[in-house]
């Protein structure tokens, strides 16, 4: 590992995972002349890529492992309706993960994750532009994300975090809102809302539509996307073999494992654990215009214009990725959000969804070479959509040149938690 490949790198690759990270990696590998095959257990955008809030928000990629998150998590343990939910029946694996997460909720560890993300944030919007300009037929909409608060004092926690991002080198452009300016920008804000923070220069998409368009573009460039569940991946000096549960093995020069919350199942050499922080969403009709996305930090809810209505997304629930929808989580989102928004027809909700976001204890994803010819990309937490394309571009560079880009050094998949 680590030396430049004089033969130009692999000529073929198998990408396991057809979400935003896997398909972006496939697209950028094709851009570098690699023949790609994509396989996924359930097909394109079937995991966390479909029902999320759709934000491409570099200024809001705030790592989860902050001291405030630890304090909030401890308070949430006794509140079944809190946005952060940890079942009391947590197994030993989850308990170990949570202990490591708590150990990484120190200011120094959080700031390290912030600094690591800054280069990805700087390039993430450009990576989307490259995809759209070269055949990914889905809109990417410019617009601010407006955070709403009951009082100006309540806004201070978010502003403090944004200042920390700015101190780390992240470009952050915010505008304070109140009165008529606030109502004009967010007509759905209820009378309980007295202050807003407009986070400018962000974007949003329909994530399911975008990822399907990305999949179509990958196929149009000559790839195949197959629906297969993989049970094992073997590598050697000459290449890799991917064994599905059903059907013949697949062979290629390299493999990329981008299976989100399921990453550890095919990559047992990982030393940093990944757990599913499941997020919920649903769509509701509204009686007033929705000029752009709405952020409700105090209740951990993100809202985005979607198909003429409002997609409402929230909750961080640590459960098995396959666990079914827990209706109480939807009820908790509505209970906490309804007082803050007017003109929303909550009882007419549709598209109820839950998806497993892959979370690491130290706030940094795992991107890079795990062993010869085997690569991983995952663990982005809530920011897989924002960082998916730029992750794919950087990883494709590493795979085809054999040199680790400097931007990926902090995301070494062979590190131990916090190192």
pLDDT per residue as tens digits for the range 320-345: 888 899 999 999 999 999 999 999 99
pLDDT in tens, 234-267: 998 889 999 999 999 999 999 999 999 999 999 9
The reported pTM is 0.95
CA distance 394 to 401: 11
Q: What angle do CA 246, 219, 401 make, to 5 degrees?
A: 90
Q: Is the pLDDT of residue 387 over 50?
A: yes
Tell me the pLDDT tens digit for each residue of 116-142: 999 999 999 999 999 999 999 999 999
Mean pLDDT of the chain: 93
The three-state secondary structure class of 30 is helix
Strand order in the sheet with 230-236: 230-236, 239-244, 250-252
Residue 266: DSSP 8-state:
H
| Protein fold of 67-91+139-203+273-359 | D-Amino Acid Oxidase; Chain A, domain 2 (3.30.9)
pLDDT at residue 95 is higher than 60: yes
CA distance 315 to 301: 7
Residue 74 has pLDDT above 80, yes or no: no
Residue 71 has pLDDT above 80, yes or no: no
Q: Which residues have a Cβ under 8 Å from the Cβ of 174 and sit 6 or more positions away?
A: 59, 159, 162, 197, 198, 199, 200
Give the β-pairing of 174-177 and 374-378: unpaired
Helices 20-31 & 207-220 angle (0-180, nearest 10): 30
Q: How many residues does the chain have?
A: 419
CA atoms within 13 A on the CB side of 106: 8
């Amino acid at each position: 590992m680590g030396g430049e490949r004089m033969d130009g790198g692999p000529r073929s690759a198998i990408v396991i995972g057809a979400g935003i990270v896997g398909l972006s990696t496939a697209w950028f590998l094709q851009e570098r002349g690699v023949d790609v095959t994509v396989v996924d257990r359930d097909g394109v955008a079937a995991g966390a890529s479909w029902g999320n809030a759709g934000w491409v928000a570099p200024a809001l990629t705030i790592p989860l492992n902050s001291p405030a998150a630890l304090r909030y998590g401890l308070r949430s343990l006794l509140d079944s309706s809190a946005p952060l939910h940890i079942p009391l029946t947590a197994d030993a694996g989850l308990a170990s993960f949570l202990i490591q997460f708590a150990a990484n909720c120190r200011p120094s560890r959080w700031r390290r994750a912030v600094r690591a993300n800054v280069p990805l944030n700087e390039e993430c919007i450009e990576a989307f532009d490259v995809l759209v300009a070269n055949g990914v037929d889905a809109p990417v909409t410019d617009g601010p994300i407006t955070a709403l608060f009951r009082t100006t004092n309540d806004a201070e926690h978010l502003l403090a975090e944004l200042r920390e991002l700015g101190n780390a080198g992240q470009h952050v452009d915010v505008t304070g809102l109140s009165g008529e300016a606030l109502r004009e920008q967010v007509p759905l804000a209820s009378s309980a809302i007295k202050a807003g923070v407009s986070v400018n220069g962000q974007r949003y998409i329909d994530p399911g539509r975008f990822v399907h368009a990305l999949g179509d573009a990958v196929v149009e460039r000559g790839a195949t996307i197959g629906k297969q569940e993989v049970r094992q991946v073997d590598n050697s000096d000459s290449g890799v073999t991917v064994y599905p549960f059903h059907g013949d093995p697949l062979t290629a020069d390299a493999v990329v494992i981008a299976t989100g919350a399921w990453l550890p199942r095919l990559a047992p050499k990982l030393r940093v654990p990944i757990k599913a922080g499941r997020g919920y969403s649903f769509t509701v009709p509204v009686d007033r215009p929705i000029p752009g996305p709405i952020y409700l930090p105090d209740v951990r809810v993100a809202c985005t214009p979607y198909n003429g209505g409002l997609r409402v997304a929230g909750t961080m629930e640590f459960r098995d990725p396959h666990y079914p929808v827990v209706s109480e989580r939807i009820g908790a989102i509505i209970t906490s959000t309804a007082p803050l928004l007017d003109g929303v027809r909550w009882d007419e909700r549709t598209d109820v969804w839950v998806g497993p976001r892959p979370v690491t204890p130290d706030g940094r994803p795992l991107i890079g070479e795990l062993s010869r010819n085997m690569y991983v990309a995952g663990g982005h937490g809530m920011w897989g959509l924002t960082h998916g394309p730029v992750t794919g571009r950087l990883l494709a560079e590493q795979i085809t040149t054999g040199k680790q880009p400097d931007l990926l050094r902090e995301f070494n998949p062979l590190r131990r938690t916090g190192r």
